[in-house]
Structure 1
Amino acid sequence: MSEQLTLSAETRELAGKGASRALRREGRVPAVVYGNNEAPLSIHLEEKVLMKMLHTGHFMNSVVMIDAGGQTTRTLPKDVQFHAVTDRPVHVDFLRISEHAQVTVAVPINFINELKSPGIKRGGVLNAVRHELELVCDAAEIPNDVIVDLAGTDIGDSIHISQVTLPKGTTSAITDRDFTIATIVAPSGVKSEAAEAAAAAEGGEEEPGADEVPTVGEAETEEGGE
């Protein structure tokens, strides 16, 4: 289960670009807490602490307790905006949730048993179509990852969501199709040989047959020779 995080914050009275820029110059990150039929709460966080949590790799699928103004609010991070040049966080959105609310979270995929894949052993390459899955689960039981077992997979095989054992108590947020998680593709050398063989086969089929009708130019030459 994903761990619960705690962030200390301060409420902010002023909004707008000017106020937000001033906060960022002081090493603070503007944020907002919304949802659960309550008024939005404007806050700001310490950038260094936020960056440390972002670097854990599971910030977006963790419950974050926001401690602001003497009150603690249970939230789920929904969006982090970054500066286009510096990659520093410039704004964060948090969604209020109850302790056992049903939430939709993006959970990272962990591929295992690559050495037990005949296709990969023969030089095949794992093509990860998705690196995370959107799951619906209890807010108190958010999984750290989704395990996808590659044992027994061969070149040309595709792994679909129906073949994946999801963590207990979770379901896929996408239910209208059996989408692809990953494929095992042939190495480039094998693909090149196959392409050359196909091209050679096509070239052989293009050889003119003995009973082909001569072109107009050929027919005129033959008539002139007679």
Structure 2
Amino acid sequence: MLLRRAAVVASRHLFNRSYAQSAAALAPLEEDPSVLPALEYLDGFPRPDPKHNETILAIPRSASGTSASEKERKAGRVPAIVFEQEDGQHGGNKRLISVRTNQIRKLVNHLGRSFFLSRLFELEVREGGFDVDGDEGSRFVVERVRVLPRKLHLHSATDAPLNVTFLRAPSHALLKVEVPLVYRGEDVSPGLRKGSSLNTIKRTAKFLCPADIVPPYIDVDLSELDVGQKVVMGDLKVHPALKLLQSKDEPVCKIMGARVSDQRRK
């Protein structure tokens, strides 16, 4: 048993140093998480703002389908599902729940849709229901777990939340996350100061992230970019334990010079 645990620790250590594993090794580890080294956010990289820490309240839901979902929405609730992370999406430990419409709407409005989908929350599922105005309802807790919102469906006209999918996110989980990109340094970029324009190609980047260090966003530094220069996925500065799931040569943005016809008009 000691040899087996030592092998698990060595495997995790290799992931942190080499960042290159087989697909099988990237699945959630089923060993005792206490034997795995903890990962923490590093200085200089974005970390979640604690002011947005919030427990999402939920109640169990027995029925599914269009009619049942409409009844939930009319009652001020959003139909939702909680899956095991990644592989559990196809019939794993699935739980049907409903969450408060006003709570999900508030979080999405405060954070933005992309940032909501890259942030972990505590989810508390309670028997006995809750009032749409925020009454906590029964204190009998069915499940309390950290989750990552995986999918969010909004009404096309009103942006009201229609349904949400969550993934359980224990510390040993590895999560595929579309992390928002935040562009900085426009005011000092040599190319932009010359009157060129920024061609924003990507708004998110897909990474495989250990659950304890999912970044809320990734900074894209434009401060040294001149006309014709670009940033590619491989240029993004992230925690070394994150694994890029896109080509490192895929363009993120480019400083575009003025067209010849535009220069002649001047």
Q: What interval of TM-score do these two structures reach, taking the shorter chain for normalisation?
A: 0.7 to 0.9
Amino acid at match of 1:11: P
Pair 1:145 & 2:202 matched = no
What CA deviation, in whole Å up to 9, does each residue of 1:95-149 have, x standing for no partner?
1232231111111112222222211111011111111111222111111221121
The separation in 1 between residues aligned to 2:206 and 2:231, in whole angstroms, is 16
Contact 1:161-1:181 at 8 Å conserved across structures: yes
What is the number of residues matched between the two proteins? 193
Q: 1:166 aligns with which of 229, 238, 241?
A: 238
TM-score (norm 2): 0.67
Task: Kindly report the root-mean-square deviation, in angstroms, between the aligned alpha carbons of the 2 structures.
Answer: 2.0
Q: 2:261 aligns with which of 192, 195, 198?
A: 192
Pair 1:42 & 2:42 matched = no
Q: Which runs of 5+ in 2 are unaligned?
A: 1-46, 127-140
Highest CA radius of gyration, 1 or 2? 1
Q: Which runs of 5+ in 1 are unaligned?
A: 197-226
SS of residue in 1 equivalent to 2:94: strand
Higher percent of residues as strand: 1
Pair 1:111 & 2:170 matched = no
Contact 1:146-1:167 at 8 Å conserved across structures: no
Q: Please give the residue correspondences for 1:27-38 in structure 2 after superposition, counting only pairs within 5 Å.
A: 27-35=76-84, 38=92
Task: Label 1:33 to 1:108 Cα distance change in 2 as closer, same or farther (>3 A).
Answer: same
Q: Percent identity?
A: 26
Amino acid at match of 2:96: S
Contact 2:81-2:165 at 8 Å conserved across structures: yes
What CA deviation, in whole Å up to 9, does each residue of 1:20-76 have, x standing for no partner?
111111111000111255431111111000111112132111112221131202221
Shift of 1:86: 2.5
The separation in 1 between residues aligned to 2:208 and 2:93, in whole angstroms, is 25
Task: Label 1:195 to 1:103 Cα distance change in 2 as closer, same or farther (>3 A).
Answer: farther
**Partner of residue 206, structure 1:** none
SS of residue in 2 equivalent to 1:184: strand
SS of residue in 2 equivalent to 1:8: strand
Shift of 1:162: 2.3
SS of residue in 2 equivalent to 1:115: coil
**Partner of residue 92, structure 1:** 164
Contact 1:81-1:89 at 8 Å conserved across structures: yes
TM-score (norm 1): 0.78
**Partner of residue 204, structure 2:** 132
**Partner of residue 53, structure 1:** 107
Task: Label 1:20 to 1:193 Cα distance change in 2 as closer, same or farther (>3 A).
Answer: closer
SS of residue in 2 equivalent to 1:116: coil
